[in-house]
């Protein structure tokens, strides 16, 4: 459930009594990927608002139990200013106009983009940790991420695979997910379909020329259930040619702690396929 936001505090008692109050002089994030890092490294009470996406099980990268304790906030400049934060952590593509307004108002803002590599993602964690004064906690998270990745080159020929999400969305070459596939002994099949970094792959094209592994959501809620059921029925005729592995949508777009979850899925899949080979 997403928390609402009361634009006019003067009417708080009349119209927003049930809404969580954003404490002033705290750290505010309106980016779900940043929220996931904050959940791991921030001190209790240090974060006073997070992205509304982090309250939605289908889009949250941060633990829902952590997110539920914090009010949500959007990307608009007025909304952010009313929260009276001492620091705003945001995506540099999502609200550049708002970021400029915050800067003119004297609010410190740190903008984090979409990291295309593991190395850049690690640097972003360090940037967030430094802004919070939590350098040691940031390094501890980075250490855990490194431990989750294979420390040696995967032997054998790479297995063709694709991360294929709702709507046919695919992470192609030049993305963090592409590097993660390669690190775990997979070859991103997006290139064989002529796809760029972020593209849409139609189901019909995928079925005509499937890879060895398709990482995709295998559970959905509400209206998505019908679309997912139809997709899975069409994919079933692939039989033993392709292995379908559960990969929630929420793992596609973020790095940070999400890398550890993705690494665990890729490692299990690679190991299970290798054990099945005579």
Q: CB neighbours of 141 closer than 8 A, spacing ≥ 6?
A: 37, 40, 41, 125, 129, 256, 257
The listed range with the strongest mean pLDDT (56-60, 220-224, 237-241) is 56-60
Identify which of 204, 206, 174 has the alpha carbon closest to the alpha carbon of residue 189: 206
User: Which of the pair, 244 or 134, is modelled with greater confidence?
Assistant: 134
Do residues 234 and 203 lie in contact, with contact meaning Cβ atoms separated by under 8 Å? yes
Domain 9-147 -> CATH class = alpha beta
In this structure, the strands spanning 87-91 and 72-73 are: unpaired
Q: In what order do the strands lie in the sheet with 186-188?
A: 186-188, 159-163, 213-216, 243-246
Give pLDDT, residue 93. Answer: 55
Q: What is the mean pLDDT of residues 186-204?
A: 92
Confidence category of residue 249, pLDDT binned at 50, 70, 90: confident
Give pLDDT, residue 240. Answer: 74
Using CA atoms of 251, 254, 260, 262 in order, give the dihedral in degrees to the nearest 10: 30
Domain ranges for the chain, please list them.
Answer: 9-147, 159-276
Express each pLDDT in 123-156 by its tens digit.
999 999 999 999 999 999 999 999 999 987 777 7
Q: What is the mean pLDDT of residues 242-267?
A: 93
Q: Which two tokens stand for residue 7?
A: 């634009």
Share of the chain above pLDDT 70, in %: 85
Give pLDDT, residue 273. Answer: 84
Query: Which segments of the chain does DSSP mark as H helices, in order?
Result: 12-15, 32-41, 64-67, 77-82, 96-104, 118-132, 135-148, 176-183, 203-208, 224-236, 258-276
Give pLDDT, residue 17. Answer: 37
Contacts 24+ apart (CB under 8 A), 46-49: 46/132, 48/22, 48/23, 48/24, 48/83, 48/85, 49/22, 49/73, 49/83, 49/85
Q: Is the pLDDT of residue 160 over 50?
A: yes
Q: Which two tokens stand for residue 212?
A: 């060895």
Q: Is the pLDDT of residue 15 over 80?
A: no
Q: Is the pLDDT of residue 170 over 90?
A: yes
- Fold: same for 9-147 and 159-276: yes
For all residues of the chain together, what is the average pLDDT? Answer: 85
Give CA–CA dist 255/29, Å, rounded. Answer: 16
Give CA–CA dist 231/157, Å, rounded. Answer: 29
Express each pLDDT in 97-124 by its tens digit.
787 888 889 899 999 988 999 999 999 9
Q: Is the pLDDT of residue 222 over 50?
A: yes
pTM attached to this predicted model:
0.85
The residues that bridge with 101 in the sheet, in sequence order, are none
Architecture of the domain spanning 159-276: 3-Layer(aba) Sandwich (3.40)
């Amino acid at each position: 459930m997403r928390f609402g936001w009361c634009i006019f505090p003067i009417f708080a008692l009349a119209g927003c009594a049930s809404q969580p109050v954003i404490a002033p002089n705290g750290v505010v994030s309106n980016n779900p990927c940043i929220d996931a890092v904050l959940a791991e490294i921030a001190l209790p009470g240090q974060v006073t608002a997070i992205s509304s996406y982090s309250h939605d099980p289908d889009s949250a990268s941060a633990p829902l139990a952590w997110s539920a304790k914090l009010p949500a906030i959007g990307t608009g400049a007025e909304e952010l200013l009313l929260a009276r934060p001492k620091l705003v952590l945001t995506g540099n593509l999502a609200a550049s106009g708002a970021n400029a307004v915050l800067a003119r108002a004297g609010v410190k803002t740190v903008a984090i983009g979409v990291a295309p590599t593991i190395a850049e993602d690690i640097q972003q964690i360090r940037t967030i940790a430094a802004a919070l004064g939590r350098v040691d906690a940031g390094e501890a998270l980075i250490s855990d991420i490194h431990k989750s990745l294979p420390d040696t080159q995967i032997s054998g020929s790479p297995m063709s695979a694709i991360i294929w999400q709702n709507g046919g969305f695919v992470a192609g070459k030049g993305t963090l997910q592409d590097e993660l596939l390669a690190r775990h002994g997979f070859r991103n099949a997006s290139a064989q379909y002529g796809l760029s970094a972020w593209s849409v792959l139609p189901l019909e094209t995928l079925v005509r020329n499937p890879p060895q592994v398709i990482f995709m959501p295998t559970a959905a809620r509400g209206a998505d259930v019908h679309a997912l059921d139809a997709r899975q029925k069409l994919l079933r005729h692939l039989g033993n040619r392709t292995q379908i592995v559960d990969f929630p949508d929420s793992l596609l777009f973020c790095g940070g702690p999400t890398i550890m979850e993705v690494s665990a899925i890729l490692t299990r899949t690679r190991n299970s396929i290798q054990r099945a080979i005579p």
